[in-house]
Amino acid sequence: MSENYPVTVEVRRPDGSVEHVRVGTATKAAAGFQVSFFPMSISTSGEPVSAAPRAARSSGGGGGGDEPTVFPPYGRAKGMPIRGASTNDLEFYANGSRRSLADPSKSRWHDKERVMLAAIEAELARQRDGDGGAPSDDGIPPPGDEDAPF
């Protein structure tokens, strides 16, 4: 089985914030890596394509009504952007949120999990509807239960 890794670029915003944007996937090969890039474009206006507020861009999860833009800090894609993620990664984190929501002992985090699940389901719907972005499945097998935080 080959090893796959997300390929990202670090984007520094004028306000000083940093966003890691996934641009492809690197697959371990015999003599190094084979890199596959997602479709990309360059803005000629110099303005970000998405004018999302800074708090929403940097948020890791719920609270305060901000929709999270990155995965939680566990699993293979921890901290990576939700937008453009593979279907396998989206389903893995959605299932983690559903498990947390089904566990009454984790009610303290249910609001945050509901917001995370909504963001993930919105990305799955966007990819299903063909709204551009990354391929819906990059061939990476889904992570196992050992990647879950519970």
Q: Which long-range contacts (CB under 8 A, 24 or more apart) does 127-133 make?
A: 127/87, 127/90, 132/39, 133/38, 133/83, 133/84
Q: Which one has a higher pLDDT value, 57 or 125?
A: 125
Domain ranges of the chain: 51-147
Residues 113 and 117: their CA atoms lie apart, in Å, by: 6
Look up residue 49 and give its two tokens.
């394509």
pLDDT band for position 5 (cuts 50, 70, 90): confident
Dihedral sign for Cα atoms in the order 88, 91, 95, 101: positive
pLDDT of res. 105:
93
pLDDT of 39-49, one tens digit each? Answer: 777 766 655 55
Whole-prediction pTM: 0.47
CA angle 122, 128, 133 (to 5 degrees): 80
